[in-house]
Amino acid sequence: MVSSIEQFETTENMNNAHIPARKLPQYVAALAATGGALAAGTLLGWTSPTESLIVDKNGTEAKEYGFVVGDEAWSWVGSSTTLGAAIMCLFIGTIINLCGRKLTMLLLVIPFTIGWALVIWASNIAMLIVGRTLLGISGGSFCICAPMYIGEIAQKDIRGTLGTFFQLMLTIGILFVYAVGSGASVFVLSIVCGCIPIIFAVIFVFMPESPYYWVSKKQTEKAVASLKWLRGDNYDYNTELQELQSEHEERENSKISFAAAFARRTSVKALIIMLGLMFFQQMSGINAVIFYTGFIFDRANTGIQGSIATIIVGVMQVIATFVSSIIVDKLGRRILLLISVSVMALCTIVLGIYFYLSDQGNPNIDSLGWLPIVAMCVFIVVFSLGFGPIPWLMVGEIFPADVKGLASSICGAFNWALAFVITKTFTNIREAIGIGETFWLFSAFSVVGTVFVFFVVPETKGKSLSDIQKMLAGEKPINNDSDNHGVMDAKL
């Protein structure tokens, strides 16, 4: 009798081992997590539809807020978000490991809500700037928390697809605020944006914590419960649980000091590559374009309202980001980066020429009102195909496991700090040298970025993490099915 029961249990376990994991719960959890990306997108796009309703160019008239907001004050409103994000990126990794991925993202709703409350009921410029800074702290943190959470809950065969959800939802958030802002007051728009983090919290509270986090805290039962929620009750979780435990033990055993980690040639090369990509991503002028899209199209005299133009740009960005998620593993990283940065250089050259001729009072400029909108849309499309998502994708590929957490924080902080510099100085630069010359400055950086990608950035498509490290070390990888040009072989 006993042997029959044992035989039945053995047979039942063997049957369960062949039951595939359910993928729908993983999609649900990933989409729920990207609600934070939707919220982050709204705060990034908020300045574009609201500028004309808030800012008085002469600095004398109090508009919708009831107090005067000039160009200089507005530059601080726009850039304070990126400054808050840059600061928080340095600390969020530690907070995630202490509190967990899920709890950290839920706690971020608090500064999100306070930030929007300050923006909604601002009675002076200081409240507006502090509110935007708090929003940047939350939005910047989500840019690290959500991709990490998604990467840890997803199975290997759908991890890439789920990983693209964050950037896609970010662009949808920007489009959403463009669309609502085209017909709503600043007060109504801000309330709508402030509701999104709260809705996110209500949904995400029902999602599981990352199984890897529970393993790292040695809470096996909770890790099993999380795996069952994500994969289904009949899923044989033992193999995956053992893999997670082995991965955690390997990370713990491979911990080394900061100095030792970055003394390695591969770590230094990876850091140079990623900081370079982050630098040229921001110096292309993308955040100036997103934050000041309404101004650019109003200034261009296209005959199209700035609010409509921003919606067009937002739609193009969403479509291009979606296309990028489909083709990035087919065409490769380098070719998309090269196409992206070189075409961006051409677009900003064209924009520079248009605005330069406009400032010179060229009589033929009125017939070229279509030119800025075409150039701007192409710029957004190629950025979203390449230099938008790929640098963030490569952060997870190019760094060794023992420095990935710290290196990701450094790259994130560097990226947001550059975004702060661009958004803060865009208004000052355009007033000092002219808007046409400002776009030419962005073009120059994109040209240099093209050279950087061609000679420095390796192709990581189709390569394992170990093969990528061998490439960086100057060794020939086992998987040699893709172009390896661009790897720095010279001694650093």
Tens place of pLDDT for every residue, the chain, 492 residues?
Answer: 444 444 433 444 444 555 677 889 999 999 999 999 999 999 988 988 898 899 887 777 888 898 999 888 888 898 899 889 988 888 887 888 889 889 999 999 999 999 999 999 999 999 999 999 999 999 988 888 888 888 788 887 777 677 778 888 988 998 999 899 888 999 999 999 999 999 999 999 999 999 988 998 999 999 999 999 999 888 888 888 888 888 778 777 766 666 776 677 888 888 999 999 999 999 998 876 766 666 667 766 666 676 777 787 788 888 888 887 777 667 778 898 999 999 999 999 988 888 888 878 777 776 776 787 788 888 988 998 888 888 877 876 787 766 776 787 788 889 889 988 887 887 788 888 888 898 899 999 999 999 999 999 888 776 766 677 778 877 765 544 444 444 444 333
The reported pLDDT for the residue numbered 302 is 62
Q: How far apart are CA 61 and CA 54, in angstroms?
A: 10
Given a contact cutoff of 8 angstroms between Cβ atoms, the answer to whether 134 and 117 are in contact is no
* Element spanning 242, H or E: helix 238-253
The reported pLDDT for the residue numbered 369 is 67
Q: How far apart are CA 360 and CA 251, in angstroms?
A: 61
Q: Which of 292, 301, 404 minimizes the C-alpha distance to 362?
A: 301
Length of the chain in residues, anyone? 492
Q: How far apart are CA 199 and CA 15, in angstroms?
A: 40
Given a contact cutoff of 8 angstroms between Cβ atoms, the answer to whether 21 and 235 are in contact is yes
Q: How far apart are CA 9 and CA 32, in angstroms?
A: 37
The reported pLDDT for the residue numbered 455 is 93
Q: Which two tokens stand for residue 186?
A: 């600043």
The reported pLDDT for the residue numbered 13 is 47
Contacts 24+ apart (CB under 8 A), 464-472: 465/397, 465/401, 468/397, 468/398, 469/266, 469/400, 472/265, 472/266, 472/269, 472/270, 472/398
Contacts 24+ apart (CB under 8 A), 268-271: 268/492, 269/472, 269/488, 269/492, 270/398, 270/399, 270/400, 270/407, 270/472, 271/399, 271/407, 271/410
The reported pLDDT for the residue numbered 483 is 46
Helix residue ranges, H only, 434-457: 435-456
Given a contact cutoff of 8 angstroms between Cβ atoms, the answer to whether 80 and 129 are in contact is yes
- C-alpha separations of 346 from 343, 351, 379, 446 in Å: 5, 9, 9, 9
